[in-house]
């Protein structure tokens, strides 16, 4: 077994070695390299204590020094170097009580979640695979290191990590690990929504997003989709239509979440996304996509414009993709709607108040009273301009203002 290490990683390990310490690449990068996939980042595990690591390298950042992690900077690139550690007792099912450093690589590998994530490598020792990680990689199997139920009891997030890796790698979950999920799943109540969200998000953005159905197969949905003990509405099942739409969809976060949540109303999707502590922008987009996922858009400029006004310009593309994937509009219609949108955009038609050639101060000068009237007038003008783009001209708009003034 030979892994090609980037020069910087080789140097870090060599520096540790020369100072009398051990250094190995570990975890995700070993797994990915064994699979022939270019690792996203290279994590290093070492017998050196954080202070010792810091003394050996010119530029370091204390990223998570209390957990033993120091980031070593080599030419603008950061490499996480973490001291071998044993996670102390987990009292609350999410955090170890204390982190204990250890001189033993074996101990460090033992605390890791799955066998495929518990391998280490360096050039002199080769692959260190104490828990059958390579066999599991070959068998395409997710299996806990040690007793699965105990590992999930320590940190229930690992349950969702099992599902996530299964989707990312296209692996099955071993039988023992599956039984342990069913046994320990209630502990997911202890896990923060942010951590849950991140795992589900990675799952949905993977090559096999349809594996989101595992959340329902293991009956985890009722446990993780809640807000401070209060249930929130979630998809009651993953039907074929949803799963094939997920499979066929581009890897866009808002698109995949709205496919998953398409049976929910806009408001229900909003509550769901908030419960998982999504940011406002993602939440707002998914809410809109769900609200309009089954609203027919006529192949006419005015209907397209009205929908763009409701959902936004870039969201419109996602909405068409969503409707198309769900079979709500066919390929021809989707193509035609996108062509119409392109035409509108190319022409530079006004769609929003900011696009109007006159603004609030212009109206004040025309003698329109401050406050509500200005807003009302601008809306009226936009309506006219959306119907007939040639009207978006200062002179013409001032004329319309004169005509409409009386009605306000």
- The footprint of ligand ATP (CB under 6 A) covers 27-28, 40, 112-113, 117-118, 155, 157-158
How many Cβ atoms are within 10 Å of 214's Cβ, its own excluded? 21
To ligand ATP, the closest distance from the beta carbon of 339 in angstroms equals 39
How many Cβ atoms are within 10 Å of 365's Cβ, its own excluded? 10
Nearer to ligand ATP, 28 or 64 (CB): 28
Query: Number of C-alpha atoms within 13 angstroms, CB side, residue 251?
Result: 10
By beta carbon distance, the residue nearest ligand ATP is: 28
Nearer to ligand ATP, 40 or 354 (CB): 40
What DSSP line would sit under 179-226, residue for residue?
A: HHHHHHGGGGGGS-HHHHHHHHHHHHTSS-GGGGHHHHHTT-HHHHSE
What DSSP line would sit under 237-296, residue for residue?
A: ---HHHHHHHHHS-S-HHHHHHHHTTTS-HHHHHHHHHHTT--HHHHHHHHHHHHHTT--
Q: What does 349 interact with, of ligand ATP, Mg ion, none (CB < 5 to 8 A by kind)?
A: none
Q: What does 197 interact with, of Mg ion, ligand ATP, none (CB < 5 to 8 A by kind)?
A: none
To ligand ATP, the closest distance from the beta carbon of 219 in angstroms equals 22
Share of the chain residues as helix, strand and coil, in percent rounded to the nearest 5 = 55, 10, 30
To Mg ion, the closest distance from the beta carbon of 42 in angstroms equals 9
Q: What does 326 interact with, of ligand ATP, Mg ion, none (CB < 5 to 8 A by kind)?
A: none
Contact 98, 115 (CB under 8 A): no
Nearer to Mg ion, 43 or 349 (CB): 43
Cβ-based neighbours of 211, under 8 Å, separated by 6 or more: 163, 166, 167, 203
Tokens for 159, please give them: 């349950």
To ligand ATP, the closest distance from the beta carbon of 27 in angstroms equals 3
Cβ burial, residue 78 (10 Å; 0-12/13-18/19+): middle
Q: What does 44 interact with, of ligand ATP, Mg ion, none (CB < 5 to 8 A by kind)?
A: none
Q: What does 157 interact with, of ligand ATP, Mg ion, none (CB < 5 to 8 A by kind)?
A: ligand ATP
To Mg ion, the closest distance from the beta carbon of 41 in angstroms equals 6
Nearer to Mg ion, 27 or 209 (CB): 27
To ligand ATP, the closest distance from the beta carbon of 118 in angstroms equals 6
To ligand ATP, the closest distance from the beta carbon of 213 in angstroms equals 21
Nearer to ligand ATP, 156 or 238 (CB): 156
Cβ-based neighbours of 394, under 8 Å, separated by 6 or more: 357, 358, 362
Tell me the angle at which helices 372-387 and 394-405 cross, rounded to the nearest 10 degrees: 120
Q: What does 235 interact with, of Mg ion, ligand ATP, none (CB < 5 to 8 A by kind)?
A: none
Nearer to ligand ATP, 117 or 174 (CB): 117
Nearer to ligand ATP, 43 or 210 (CB): 43
Q: How far apart are CA 249 and CA 215, in angstroms?
A: 19
Contact 141, 171 (CB under 8 A): yes
Q: What does 113 interact with, of ligand ATP, Mg ion, none (CB < 5 to 8 A by kind)?
A: ligand ATP
Nearer to ligand ATP, 110 or 384 (CB): 110
To ligand ATP, the closest distance from the beta carbon of 117 in angstroms equals 3
Q: What does 64 interact with, of Mg ion, ligand ATP, none (CB < 5 to 8 A by kind)?
A: none
Nearer to ligand ATP, 45 or 293 (CB): 45
To ligand ATP, the closest distance from the beta carbon of 39 in angstroms equals 8
Pairing of strands 77-83, 69-74: antiparallel
Tokens for 398, please give them: 């001032």
Contact set with Mg ion (CB under 5 A):
28
Q: What does 112 interact with, of Mg ion, ligand ATP, none (CB < 5 to 8 A by kind)?
A: ligand ATP
């Amino acid at each position: 077994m030979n892994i090609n290490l980037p020069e910087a990683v080789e140097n870090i390990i060599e520096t540790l070695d020369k100072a009398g310490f051990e250094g190995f690449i570990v975890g995700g990068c070993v797994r990915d390299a064994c699979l022939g996939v270019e690792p996203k980042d290279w994590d290093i595990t070492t017998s050196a204590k954080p202070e010792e690591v810091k003394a050996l390298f010119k530029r370091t950042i204390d990223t998570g020094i209390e957990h033993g992690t120091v980031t070593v900077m080599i030419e603008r690139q950061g490499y996480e170097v973490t001291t071998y550690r044993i996670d102390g007792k987990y009292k609350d099912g999410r955090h170890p009580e204390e982190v204990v450093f250890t001189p033993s690589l074996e101990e460090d590998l033992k605390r890791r979640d799955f066998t495929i994530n518990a391998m280490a490598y360096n050039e002199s020792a080769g692959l260190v695979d104490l828990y059958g990680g390579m066999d599991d990689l070959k068998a395409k199997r997710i299996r806990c290191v040690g007793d699965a139920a105990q590992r999930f009891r320590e940190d229930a997030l690992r349950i969702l990590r099992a599902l996530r890796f299964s989707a990312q790698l296209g692996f099955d979950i071993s039988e023992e690990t599956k039984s342990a999920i069913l046994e320990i799943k209630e502990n997911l109540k202890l896990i923060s929504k942010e951590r849950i969200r991140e795992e589900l998000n990675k799952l949905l953005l993977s090559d096999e997003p349809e594996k989101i159905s595992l959340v329902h197969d293991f009956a985890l949905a009722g446990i993780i989709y809640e807000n401070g003990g209060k249930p929130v509405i979630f998809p009651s099942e993953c039907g074929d239509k949803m799963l094939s739409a997920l499979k066929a969809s581009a890897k866009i976060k808002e698109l995949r979440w709205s496919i998953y949540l398409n049976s929910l109303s806009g408001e229900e999707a909003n509550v769901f996304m908030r419960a998982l502590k999504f940011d406002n922008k993602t939440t707002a987009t998914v809410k809109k996509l769900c609200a309009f996922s089954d609203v027919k858009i006529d192949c006419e400029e005015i209907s397209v414009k009205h929908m763009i006004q409701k959902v936004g310009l870039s969201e419109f593309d996602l909405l068409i993709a969503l409707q198309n994937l769900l079979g709500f509009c066919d390929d021809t219609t989707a193509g035609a709607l996108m062509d119409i949108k392109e035409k509108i955009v190319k022409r530079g038609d006004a769609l929003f108040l900011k696009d109007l050639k006159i603004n609030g101060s212009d109206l004040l000068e025309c003698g329109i009273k401050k406050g509500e009237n200005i807003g009302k007038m601008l809306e009226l003008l936009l309506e006219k301009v959306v119907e007939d783009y040639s009207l978006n001209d200062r002179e013409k708009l001032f004329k319309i203002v004169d005509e409409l003034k009386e009605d306000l």
